[in-house]
Amino acid sequence: MEGESLAGLSPEELGEALALGEPYRARQVYRWIARGASGWEEMTDLPAAERSRLAGLRPRVDSSSPAARLEDPDGSIKLQVRLADGAAVECVLLEDLEGRRTACLSCQVGCPMGCAFCKTGSLGYLRDLSAGEIVEQFRFLRAAAGRGAISNVVFMGMGEPMLNLGAVRKAIAILSDPRGIGLSLRKITISTSGVVPGILDLAEHGPKVRLAVSLTSADDGLRGELMPVNSRWDLAALKDALARYQAATGERITLEAALMGGRNSSPADAEALVRWASPLKVQVNLIPWNKVPGLPFSEPSRAELEAFAAVLERAGMTASRRMRRGRGVMGACGQLGDTLRA
């Protein structure tokens, strides 16, 4: 038991792992973990003898721990989380202008996708995270948030969720369980670089969360340069998968376009996106590229961004401009991994 995470276990699994006997005892422990308890002494409705027994087993609620914390003046908080095997990941708490808080969670140590414009992609891939290690990030961010509640979760941190879908599914089940944390599935988003089998699996087996796809470009050649995933599943295969996902779920899909000045930010690029997306039901999230030292890209100008958005809006598409949050702590889109250097 020592070193294993309890945060990713259901009440039934907790009961078995901890030999809790009566099911209601497991539900008590589960509720305490959902509230943020990290030690047995906090679980005051358990008998003292039971708390002492559990402490003797030396199981830990969390297998990882926050190792570093960076705070941005915009209210964002980035945590480096040290895992039991010594590896580390980052997760971010983002706050919008209305005070709503979103937990941006990682699902892998590093990332195997190698997107040219992303800091995490330059780190390589070490391993998948367990469901417990994913849920722990939420627990640590919630503690960092203080009194403010977290209303949304996005799997947009380090790693490709569709390549660790089993653990992501289980983490979502824990996060959305009304017996515990109780987040609405409508407040949870999985973002993928375009892993087609994962999209189809999600369509068939759920959970029914929101889906976002990092598109970046609707030109196969350019997308292939920027996103190696396109050599495995090209734009035609991706569009077919999204059409099948939409037919199965009826849900609108978010297309994310990380715009780099002079690379994929022209009106012609926007027109290609419009043609490719038809007739899918989508909204487009425009993300000005966030600077990463050492990468050969530049931010788009305000004029480029607005001209791109204007093409989409004239075509009747919903285009939103991503708020730039967390840039001061390298916690914005594409920047995660900065505190993991050396």
Question: What's the CATH code, domain 65-340?
Answer: 3.20.20.70
Residue listed under structure tokens 């190792």: 67
Q: Is residue 203 pLDDT above 90, yes or no?
A: yes
CB atoms within 10 A of CB 279: 7
Instruction: Note the pLDDT tens digit of each residue in 24-69.
Output: 999 999 999 999 998 999 999 999 999 999 998 877 789 999 999 9
Residue 229 DSSP one-character state: G
Report residue 99's pLDDT band, with 50, 70 and 90 as the boundaries.
confident
Question: Is pLDDT above 80 for 272?
Answer: yes
Catalytic residue among 90, 133, 160, 304: 90
Range(s) within the chain of domains with CATH label 3.20.20.70: 65-340
- Catalytic one of 104, 111, 115, 333: 333
Find how far residue 289's CA is from the centre of its chain.
Answer: 18
* Mean pLDDT across 148-156: 91
41 flagged as catalytic = no
Compute the distance between CA of residue 230 and CA of residue 222 in angstroms, rounded to an integer. 10
pLDDT score of 271 more than 50: yes
Res. 115: pLDDT tops 80: yes
Is 107 among the catalytic positions?
A: no
pTM for the complete prediction?
0.93
